[in-house]
Amino acid sequence: MIFRQLFDSVSSTYTYLIAGRSGGEALIIDPVLDKVERYIQLLAELDVKLVKAIDTHVHADHITGLGALRDRTRCITVMGRESGVDVVSMRVADGDKIEIAGLALETLYTPGHTDDSYSFLMDDRVFTGDTLLIRGTGRTDFQNGDPAASYDSIFNKLLKLPDDTLVYPAHDYKGDTVSTIGEEKAFNPRLQVQSVEEYVEIMNNLNLPDPKMMDVAVPANLQVGLSQDEIEARGWSLDCGAAREILDRPDHILVDLRDRGERERHGVIPGSAHVPYPDLEANLAPGGLLRQLAGSPGQRLVFYCAYGERSAMAVQAAQEAGLSTACHIKGGFDAWKKAGGPTEAGESAP
Ligand SMILES: [Fe+2]
């Protein structure tokens, strides 16, 4: 495994770059916009391909690198389902798995610092965002923060992990880089409380100033979505009504780009093929399956995903590969369901 902890000294943010192996797929947790060039360089140096960029929550102290990384690498952007961002490619909930080749993160919903805060467990380590810091905990006084929820997330979820689990937070202001659950149980001053009331009392009396960047960062971080308008203006977009009319038409190949887990949880559009977004490039390359299918005259590729972001990027990639009839369903499966489009159960595990 490749594991890199990167630091942004302006916001004291830790960013984690993780890959299964050299030459394989990578994911990044809590990237900072100002550091995107560095990440791109490091990805090249380590010879890994970024496929997923994840934010643990909407940050108030720095602008996220999610949108820039998506635009540069066509990776999938991931946040929790509670996040009020305009569009991310994939939304996760408690218990979901975030997979790339060679590794998986388990999603833990840990609200309290914000109502959209998640932690991610990977084998011997947990990425705690701002929920649990080293010898501290994330403040709970803005962005729908809730000290009682923070207590519950920490005491009833994170501290239930084995004591030797490594704790990698999203920030540290003193220079510490990693801790363990056992160490935090014993030495974190905020956790030496006898009751939720005692913890709430501490958190409600921190009297911290607002983060310097808050007025800039929060609005910017709520607008990370890829604009699907340009795709539409070029005629590469179907609304749900138009998409319903092509169901069952043999000259249209409907392709679901979501991960297997998303299909199992949310269902699929009947009659669609499954090509997970990370496999798209190989499928569009000469000799690839989609290229062969769509290469016959009169055939049209219709991509869809969860919200239309991955499929918009897929349309661009297919057009670049010379498949000039490729299009997508605007707004994805989410819009399809809201419009009352028919669905069926996704496959269970292979
Ligand atoms: Fe935060």
User: pLDDT tens across 139-159, in order?
Assistant: 999 899 999 999 999 999 999
Three-class SS of residue 24?
A: coil
Q: Mean pLDDT in the chain?
A: 95
Please give the pLDDT value at position 228.
85
User: pLDDT tens across 100-114, in order?
Assistant: 999 999 999 999 999
Work out the average pLDDT over 32-38: 98
CB atoms within 10 A of CB 233: 9
User: How far, in Å, is the centroid of ligand 1 from the Cα of 144?
Assistant: 11
Single out the residue of 296, 299, 329 nearest to residue 315, CA to CA: 329
- Tell the burial category of 296 from Cβ atoms under 10 Å away from its Cβ (0-12, 13-18, 19+): exposed
User: How far, in Å, is the centroid of ligand 1 from the Cα of 249?
Assistant: 48
User: How far, in Å, is the centroid of ligand 1 from the Cα of 22?
Assistant: 31
User: How far, in Å, is the centroid of ligand 1 from the Cα of 113?
Assistant: 7
Work out the average pLDDT over 210-238: 90
| pTM for the whole structure | 0.94
Tokens linked to 277: 């977004």
User: pLDDT tens across 157-207, in order?
Assistant: 999 999 999 999 999 999 999 999 999 999 999 999 999 999 999 999 999
Three-class SS of residue 300?
A: strand
User: How far, in Å, is the centroid of ligand 1 from the Cα of 251?
Assistant: 48
Q: Would you say residue 350 has pLDDT above 70?
A: no
Q: Which residues surround ligand 1, an ion (CB under 5 A)?
A: 130
User: pLDDT tens across 52-63, in order?
Assistant: 999 999 999 999
Single out the residue of 143, 135, 148 nearest to residue 204, CA to CA: 148
Please give the pLDDT value at position 298.
83
Helix (H) or strand (E) holding 41: helix 36-46
Please give the pLDDT value at position 348.
56
User: pLDDT tens across 291-338, in order?
Assistant: 888 877 888 999 999 999 999 999 999 999 989 899 999 999 999 999
